[in-house]
Structure formats: structure tokens, C-alpha cells
Amino acid sequence: MFGLLCLVLLSSVVAEKEVTVLVINRVNAGRTCPPYDGTVVVPRLEEKATLLTVMEQAQHQGSFTFGYTLHPKWGAQINTINGLSADSSANQYWEILGGPDMEPTEFGASSYVPADGEEVLFRLVTFGNDISYALPCYCHPWTALFWALLVAFW
């Protein structure tokens, strides 16, 4: 009887995770550090929740909105975040960065499964603009400004 009770209690425990969604609106910002134009912490997610599910939950919280086009082969293509649309005529798209090194994700929002405690960044970029790197994020704001100006005028 005790064993059955333990089995019932263990089966009702669901692994949960928390993911933070970050947004940078400035086109080709080239940075991954603050300031962010949007930050949403999404708690109590199922362990296997995809980024698309995270975004849907963030939208239900009311401080984040997004739109996407569903491609039958590649899944959701994010085209709008917080009212800002990627301009396809200007070759813009929403880049997704995540993981411990805040690098471009290997998968899109439909397939990417963020880890517990992960921060996922959306930033608006242009095709062909070689910003697959991230500017160093130092504590002092003048250092970040220096790097931003250096890259802008390089």
C-alpha cells in the first residue's frame, strides 16, 4: 500500500523549468548584453517545452507579443515581436540566440528546447550582415559603447 502511494505521488511530480525571453529591437545591434527592449521570465514550464511554447506562455502573461508564419517543413518563422515586424524587403529576420554562450540556436522556435534557467535572446538582424558574433559584454557601459562604435565604424 505504501509503495503504491509513493508511486502515485512520484508520477504526479512534473519536472518544470523557467526560461527568460530577452528582446533587442535595434536592427543589427550586434550585442547580447543589456539594455534589452523586453524581458519576460516564464516560470512553470514543462521540461520538454519548445521555445514556441515558451513564447506562447510569455504572451499569455501579457508583456510580450509575437507573430509567426508556419512553414510545413521548417516550422514557425517568427516575423513580429512586441509589434516590431522583420521587414523581409530589407532582408530582416528575428535571430534566436541561446545557450551558455548566447550563440545562434541550431533550431528554430518550433524545435528548440531551452534548458532550465536559460536566457533566450531575439534580436532583429539583416541577412548578409556578418554579425554572427556577439560584442563583448563588459560591466562598464563606456566599454560597451566603445565596442559598438568600433564595430559601427570599422
Span 25-75, pLDDT tens digits? 999 998 999 999 999 999 999 999 999 999 999 999 999 999 999 999 889
Average pLDDT (120-130) is: 85
pLDDT reading at 7 higher than 70: no
Q: Is the pTM of this model over 0.85?
A: no
Q: How do beta strands 103-104 and 75-81 pair?
A: unpaired
CB 23 within 8 A of CB 36: yes
- Residue 136 in grid coordinates: 563583448
Secondary structure class of 147 (helix, strand, coil): helix
Average pLDDT (126-138) is: 58
Strand partners of residue 19: 42
pLDDT category of residue 78 using cuts at 50, 70 and 90: very high
CB 55 within 8 A of CB 21: yes
pLDDT given for residue 140 in this prediction: 45
List Cα–Cα distances, 145 to 26, 97, 109, 134, 148, in angstroms.
14, 21, 31, 14, 5
pLDDT given for residue 138 in this prediction: 44
pLDDT reading at 14 higher than 70: no
Strand partners of residue 70: 76
Q: 106, 88, 89: which is closest to 97 by C-alpha? A: 106
pLDDT given for residue 145 in this prediction: 54
